[in-house]
Chains A and B, each alone.
Chain A
Amino acid sequence: MPDTGQTALLDRAGLDALVAALTADGRTVVGPTVRDGAVVLAELDGADALPWGWGTELEAGRYRLVRRDDGAAFAHTSGPQSWKSFLHPQREKLWDVDRDAAGELTVCPARNEPPSYAFLGVRPCDLRAIAIQDRVLAGGHFRDDGYAERRSGAFLIAAECTEPGATCFCVSMGSGPAAEAGFDLALTELIDTGGHRFLVRAGSAEGARILDRVPSEKGDTTTSDAARSAVDAARDRMGRAMPPMDLRALLGASPEAERWDDVAARCLTCGNCTMVCPTCFCTTTEEVTDLTGDHAERWQRWDSCFDLDFSYLHGGPVRASARSRYRQWLTHKLSTWHDQFDSTGCVGCGRCITWCPVGIDITEEVNALAEEARS
């Protein structure tokens, strides 16, 4: 998507007007909001619902909301959800089947009118994650129609990162903290002597059209420069890093590494890391029948490669050990994903580190594998 070059400045009221304009267009606006002690993604009825004045403190296996006195709306980092909850939902009906008295089957694809989403506050790492799921689910020979429909109608408003979290490593993965492409609008939040405001860049014709309908000031170079340096500063404050090397080659050459036994001794194979990961796409299917026995539904739901059943093949799972399942997950993320989909499967959002109940840290594991490969 080309950067149309159009920039503007919004204040809090302007952001609210943007939400109102999108809602008026019939869009469901989804963005971050504080709920149950976390920043979650939910439908927003206005910009007031954003987490103004909330930040997050993250560590491996730990997440906490903290108050900020600067009132920032986008100073929090990745929460437990990602946008895949909306584009690639946890459960989705695939088809309905009816069997008539003669035993004939009538199969109907389950196609609901997809909501027309506007996502407000998509982090650059998550923008990349959406682009990766686009490749996986809509970029191959077969297309996941439900995903493709929801995705093609979605309007993306990025929020660049100026406050990276302690588990973030987007710089290592080349996916942040700046938003470079794949958005309709990109916001950079600025709080300085010039006040609390948002620099907005349009990244698509539709983004520019919406921006025209919102009261704003013209962007100036001083503000643009301030925004650039705030994002550049974030680049130097990443909480974590991958070893600076070809990760695809490293993982490709490590199937028998001893480190897998080490991590397997800690991993609970709970699958949390796969649920929170914005690129993990795996699903399984379920057959549901009603009481008459003449109506059946086929459902798809998220699945995890940590589940024993995931690799089940008559008689038992192919990947029985925790070692082989953690290895599958990490090797897929960083190596075989390239073979399968021509991109990495990790964007450095840090969610898997934050939400692992035992604090397993993907960057620490990869650094250990790199160390083992060197020795």
Chain B
Amino acid sequence: MSTVPVPYRVIDRWDETRDTITLRLDPVGEPLAPFAPGRFAMVYAFGVGEIPVSVSSIPTDGGVAHTIRAVGAVSEALCRKRVGDAVGLRGPFGTGWQLETARGQDLVVVAGGIGLAPLRPLIRRVVADPRAYGRVNVLVGARTPADLVSRVEIRRWATAYTGVTVDHPGAYWRGEIGLVTRLLDGAQFDPGQATAFVCGPEPMIRATARDLVHRGVAADRVRVSLERNMRCATGHCGHCQLGPVLLCRDGPVIGFDRAEPLMRTREL
């Protein structure tokens, strides 16, 4: 495991939404160990800093992609990168979705906003290997139609149910309106035989996970990906604590059985 960033080069770059881009990165020299869906890297922008970013695609020909929303100094610097520019990567870090434990199950994948990015490599694996799973459901919510990442790809995924909803539709939206939890009514799954993967803003995660548990999905089969400030990703900086959990090490994906009491405590 390298303790310093490993140089990667931007080989492709595209806009996802008005404030979110995807960088397709290839190693300049030796690559990092392979990523798994749900795991993350510390992405370094020269002269600015380093932030945790989930892997949003794991191309079969090597390399990695990250989907980044510009919200502050480092994420803005990364969003300004062009093809040919260099970044540094450390990783892979974290637990990942552990899709292998969901074989044979119905899947409920629920994403809020940019939360779809860490779920994308998982969904791609699932739709590429449909016989390994039961019914596959993909539920996506965003604030406005303009905030939807992977808009085109979402429609191509062969699933039992794909639902997309927005909070603020604007003039041209003809799809669902409202919270992503509303889509659960349309999803096709046997709660006793289902595994859910949930990523998005914390209130959305809580509402969705609670609803799923309410419908009979075992809390430990509802996997949620959480965020805390992270400086090192190696379990030494103390920033990513969520009570007993060090999210960089024990997460970012944890079961809702563990997450629920922690998320319930205010300002934990």
Contacts and interface: CB of A to CB of B under 8 A. Distances in A.
Interface of A: 94-95, 97, 99, 103-109, 136-137, 140-142, 144-145, 255-256, 281-285, 287, 289, 293, 296, 298, 300, 303, 305, 310-314, 318-321, 323-324, 328, 331-332, 335-336, 339-340
Nearest to A324: B267
Q: How many B residues touch the partner, as a band?
A: 35 or more
B228 A311 contact: yes
A321 B267 contact: yes
B193 interface: no
Contacts of A94: 3-4
Interface of B: 1, 3-7, 28, 46-50, 71-72, 84-88, 227-229, 231-232, 234-239, 241, 243-246, 249, 265-268
A282 B88 CA distance: 24
Contact of B267 (A281, A284, A319): A319
Contacts of A256: 265
B265 A255 contact: yes
A328 B265 contact: no
A281 B236 contact: yes
A303 B4 contact: no
Contacts of B236: 136-137, 140, 142, 144, 281, 283
Given A311-B228, A313-B229, A318-B267, A107 B4 contact: yes
- Choose among A142, A296, A303, A336 the residue with the greatest number of B CB atoms under 10 Å from its CB: A142
Given A104-B7, A109-B4, A339 B86 contact: no
Report whether over half of chain B's contact residues are helix, strand or loop; otherwise say mixed.
loop
Contacts of A318: 228-229, 267-268
Contacts of A319: 267-268
Contacts of A104: 7, 28, 86
7 contacts: A106-B7, A144-B236, A300-B232, A313-B229, A328-B241, A339-B243, A340-B246
Given A104-B28, A136-B236, A296-B46, A313 B244 contact: no
Given A97-B46, A103-B85, A145-B3, A312 B229 contact: yes
A305 B243 CA distance: 13
A305 B4 contact: no
A61 B141 CA distance: 53
Contacts of A142: 1, 3, 234-236
A164 to B, nearest CB: 29
B268 A255 contact: yes
A209 B244 CA distance: 43
Given A105-B46, A282-B238, A318-B268, 10 more contacts: A99-B46, A99-B86, A136-B236, A142-B236, A281-B238, A282-B237, A282-B239, A321-B267, A328-B241, A335-B244
